Every structure is written in structure tokens, then in C-alpha cells.
């Protein structure tokens, strides 16, 4: 697999894994630029964690328009 999970040419630096580990939600009222800056700061500090079960449930719900 040329661009698989272990490939260095995929352009991924672990951002997907960080999203999957996020636990502290960003305030929805934040401006988009502020939200991106806050998420970037937390990712670089190693504090950006997402619950994979909650993330996948939100993706499914959004896809099914629930």
C-alpha cells in the first residue's frame, strides 16, 4: 500500500489520531479563526483528545440527518 498508514508520503502528521483522542470540547461560540488557533495550540501541546465513540456517532448522525 503506497500511501497507507505507515507511509511518510501521505502528508499525515498524526492529526487524525489527535482528533480521535480529543476530550475537552472547544466553545462553539468562538470565531472560526479563534477556534482553529485554540485547536492548533492544544494539538501541539498534546492536549487535543477526542473520544472515538462520540466522534463516530456524530459522523453517523450527521450523515443520517439525525
Q: Please give the residue range of the domain that contains residue 23.
A: 17-63
Total of domains in the chain: 1
Answer whether residue 37 is part of any domain.
yes
Answer whether residue 57 is part of any domain.
yes
pLDDT digits (tens, 9 = 90+) for 6-59: 444 444 455 555 555 556 665 666 689 999 999 999 999 999 888 999 999 999
Answer whether residue 58 is part of any domain.
yes
Give the pLDDT score at 49: 87
Q: Which residues of 22-38 are buried (b: 16+ CB within 10 A; e: fewer)?
A: beeeeeeeeeeeeeeee
| Torsion angle defined by CA atoms of residues 36, 29, 24 and 50, in that order, rounded to the nearest 10 degrees | -60
| Torsion angle defined by CA atoms of residues 54, 9, 33 and 36, in that order, rounded to the nearest 10 degrees | 30
Amino acid at each position: 500500500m503506497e500511501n497507507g498508514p505507515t507511509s511518510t508520503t501521505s502528508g499525515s502528521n498524526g492529526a487524525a489520531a489527535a482528533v480521535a483522542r480529543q476530550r475537552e470540547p472547544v466553545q462553539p461560540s468562538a470565531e472560526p479563526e479563534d477556534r482553529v488557533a485554540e485547536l492548533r495550540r492544544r494539538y501541539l501541546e498534546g492536549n487535543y483528545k477526542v473520544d472515538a465513540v462520540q466522534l463516530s456517532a456524530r459522523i453517523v448522525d450527521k450523515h443520517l440527518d439525525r
